[in-house]
Structure 1
Amino acid sequence: MASIFSRIVSGEIPSHKIAENDEFLAFLDAFPIAKGHTLVIPKKEVDYIFDLEDDLYSRLFLFAKSIVPALEKTVPCVRIGVSVIGLEVPHVHIHLLPLNSMKDADFSKKIKITQEELAELARQIRQNI
């Protein structure tokens, strides 16, 4: 069965896309822990990040890095944090997290944000790419 992220890639499930190319997709997390919390995934479904081929692994991180300036310009923060956990969804994903303190990296606490706010935030980030 396809992962939820593969279903997002195929368009079966909507998302608030930030950037996309033939290999990768960046979109806002539907249940963010911080404003601007972005997920970056390979379109190829692989469960564990260290199972990615070396070239794909490198390109994934370079693609994620390309999103950071737009996030920093859109969401005031001290820096963008990176987290790779890989337990909730069996599809490689990198979390890009706008951070102002270590408390902002607490995955047990979600922020409240509407779909309309996510859509507007995604538009602003895309505009800054």
Structure 2
Amino acid sequence: MPTLFSRIIAGELPGRFVWRDPEVTAFLSIAPLRPGHTLVVPRREIDRWTDADGALLARCVEVAQAVGQGVRRAWDAPRAGLVIAGFEVPHLHIHVAPAWDMSDFDFTKAEPEEDQSALDDAAARLRAALLELGYAQARDTDRD
């Protein structure tokens, strides 16, 4: 059975994508720690990051770094945080979010965003920042 993230990547479930390339996608979390909280996800289903081959894991981190640059720019944040936890969905994913201090990483405070327009606005803001940084993978497309 495909994971929740595979279903989002396939377009079976909605997602607010900010990055698409042949190996990796990135889309906003529906339960953000802060506006701009993004999940970097390989297209290939891999449960644990420790099971990913080195090249794919490196690609995920490269994309996470680009997204981190984007969230810093879009929200004028001093840092971009990166967390690999792996408990929520059995599909490797890297959390990237703008951060001002360690309390920004308290996942117990993450709540589903009820205001869908807030997610749309955050996705547009992040895509614009990524495009300004020269990342064409951030183009706004409905499908791959």
The bucket for the TM-score relative to the shorter chain is over 0.9
Q: Distance in 2 between matches of 1:128 and 1:34?
A: 17
Question: Number of paired residues?
Answer: 129
TM-score by length of 1: 0.95
Give the corresponding residue for 1:115.
Answer: 116
* Identity, % of aligned positions: 35
Give the corresponding residue for 1:53.
Answer: 53
Query: How do 1:1-129 residues align onto structure 2 when only pairs under 5 Å count?
Result: 1-111=1-111, 113=113, 114-129=115-130
Could you tell me which runs of 5 or more consecutive residues in structure 1 were left unpaired when the two chains were aligned: none
Runs of 4+ with >6 A deviation: none
Report deviation, 1:76.
Answer: 2.7
Are 1:35 and 1:111, in contact at CA under 8 Å, matched by a contact in 2?
Answer: no
Q: Which AA in structure 2 matches 1:72?
A: R
Are 2:68 and 2:98, in contact at CA under 8 Å, matched by a contact in 1?
Answer: no
Could you tell me which runs of 5 or more consecutive residues in structure 2 were left unpaired when the two chains were aligned: 131-144
SS at match of 2:15: coil
CA RMSD, Structure 1 to Structure 2 (Å): 1.2
Are 1:37 and 1:96, in contact at CA under 8 Å, matched by a contact in 2?
Answer: yes
Deviations 1:78-121, CA, capped at 9 Å, x for gaps: 20011000011000000002111111110000256411111111
Are 1:83 and 1:95, in contact at CA under 8 Å, matched by a contact in 2?
Answer: yes
